[in-house]
Amino acid sequence: MRRALTLVLFLLIPGTAAPAGAQQASSTPSIDRDKLELIRKMSPEERAKLRERLEQLKKLPGEEKARLQDNLKRIKAMPAEEVRKLREKATKLTPEEARDYSELATGFSRWANRNAEGFPRGLFFTWLKSEKPEKMSEIRAMEGGPGGGRVDEFVRLANEFRGVMIARTEQHVQKHRCADAEALKSLREAAPFWPRWQEISRACQGRRANPGPVAPRPLK
């Protein structure tokens, strides 16, 4: 659970914003407007998960809260680039975790190869690590093999992951204007889905890398 709560701290840097609708008025507010806007753009599921983890923070013993507060102060003092690298390290799968997830998902991987062309397993496992650590604990407790429940649970999570990636792609496109409405419509209706998602993602990355000429400034 500590790893999940650390990710909550990353989201709160440099302020102490709560999910939209949960932040009460205060005489000394310390809300980071950029982070608040990020939270507002979250899907309802993402906000619910953040709210759940904030509740977990509140229930921690005093010593653990003090340790996390000390960590937060240290993170706040870091340069932005170091914070970004630390965030990526916290969410990236270690080689051991990658092997563990692959072993747990053996039957699911066979299902994905047959039914989900282009499924991004690495990205899916990274999402599970950062967003669904409790589900991975439940899956470990299930019996493997036919009838064990693991494959069905992974399939359910894969469908949820698809919805999350659609929402994130739409948010990204709205922010960067790197695709049009027709592209987003085609994404939702695409079959197979993942090759079309990868195509739109690569196109957005290409446009961000080569944004084109800058509009001339008006003469004064």
> Rounded mean pLDDT of the chain?
77
Q: Where are the domains of the chain?
A: 2-90, 95-209
* Mean pLDDT of all residues in 210-216: 48
- Report the 10 Å Cβ neighbour count for 44: 8
**Across 31-35, 66-70, 208-212, least confident range:** 208-212
Q: Which of 141, 118, 137, 119 is nearest to 128 (CA)?
A: 137
pTM for the model: 0.62
pLDDT tens, position by position, 39-95: 777 777 777 877 887 887 788 888 877 887 887 788 778 887 877 777 777 778 888
CB under 8 Å to 202, separation ≥6 — which residues? none
Answer yes or no: is pLDDT of 218 > 60.
no
* pLDDT tens-digit series, residues 123-168: 999 999 988 888 988 999 998 777 779 999 999 999 999 999 999 9
> For residue 198, what pLDDT is reported?
94
Inter-CA distances, 96 with 81, 93, 100, 119, 196, Å: 26, 8, 6, 21, 31
Calculate the dihedral angle through the C-alpha atoms of 123, 126, 130, 135, rounding to the nearest 10 degrees.
Answer: 100
Q: Which residues of 72-98 are buried (b: 16+ CB within 10 A; e: fewer)?
A: beebeeeeeeebeeebeeebebeeeeb
